[in-house]
Amino acid sequence: MRTRALGQTGIEASEIGFGAMQLGNHEWNGPDTEESIRLVHEAIGVGCTFIDTSPVYAYGRSEQILGQALAGRRNEVVICTKFGVWPDATLDYSADRIEESVTGSLERLGTDYLDVVLFHGLPPDRTAAGLAQHYKALQRLVDSKLVKAYGMSFEPPNVDELRRYVEEGGVSCFEFRFNPLAQHTIALFPELQKQGVGLIGNVPLESGWLSGKYDASSTFDIARDRWTPADIAHRAALVDELRAMLPEGMSLPQASLAFILAQPEVSTIIPGIKSSEQLQANTKAVELALPDELVAAIRALGANQAELPW
Ligand X SMILES: NC(=O)c1ccc[n+]([C@@H]2O[C@H](COP(=O)([O-])OP(=O)(O)OC[C@H]3O[C@@H](n4cnc5c(N)ncnc54)[C@H](OP(=O)(O)O)[C@@H]3O)[C@@H](O)[C@H]2O)c1
- 176, 185 contact by CB (below 8 A): yes
Report the relative pairing of strands 12-14 and 3-5 from DSSP bridges.
Answer: antiparallel
Neighbours of 168 (CB within 10 A): 13
Answer left, alpha or beta for residue 207, where phi above 0 means left and psi between -120 and 50 means alpha.
Answer: left
Separation of alpha carbons 134 and 82, rounded Å? 13
Segment contacting ligand X (CB under 6 A): 15-23, 105-113, 238-246, 301-309? 15-23
The residue count for binding ligand X (CB under 6 A) is 26
> Is 105 near ligand X (CB under 6 A)?
no
Report the relative pairing of strands 198-202 and 268-269 from DSSP bridges.
Answer: parallel
> Is 285 near ligand X (CB under 6 A)?
no
> Is 153 near ligand X (CB under 6 A)?
yes
- 1, 13 contact by CB (below 8 A): no
The residue with its CB nearest to ligand X is: 272
DSSP state string for 22-68: TTT-GGGT---HHHHHHHHHHHHHTT--EEE--TTGGGGHHHHHHHH
Q: Which of 13, 20, 114, 308 binds ligand X (CB under 6 A)?
A: 20
> Is 267 near ligand X (CB under 6 A)?
no
Backbone φ and ψ for 182, nearest 5 degrees, come out as -130, 85
Q: Which is nearer to ligand X, 9 or 282 (CB)?
A: 282
Provide the mask over 115-134, with x wherever binding to ligand X is found by CB under 6 A and - wherever it is not: -----xx-------------
208, amino acid identity? G
Segment contacting ligand X (CB under 6 A): 7-15, 33-41, 184-192, 269-277? 269-277
Measured from the CB of residue 52, what is the shortest distance to ligand X in angstroms? 4
Q: Which of 19, 87, 123, 169 binds ligand X (CB under 6 A)?
A: 19
Q: Which is nearer to ligand X, 58 or 194 (CB)?
A: 58
Footprint of ligand X (CB under 6 A): 19-22, 28, 52, 120-121, 153, 175, 202-208, 211, 253, 270-272, 274, 278, 281-282
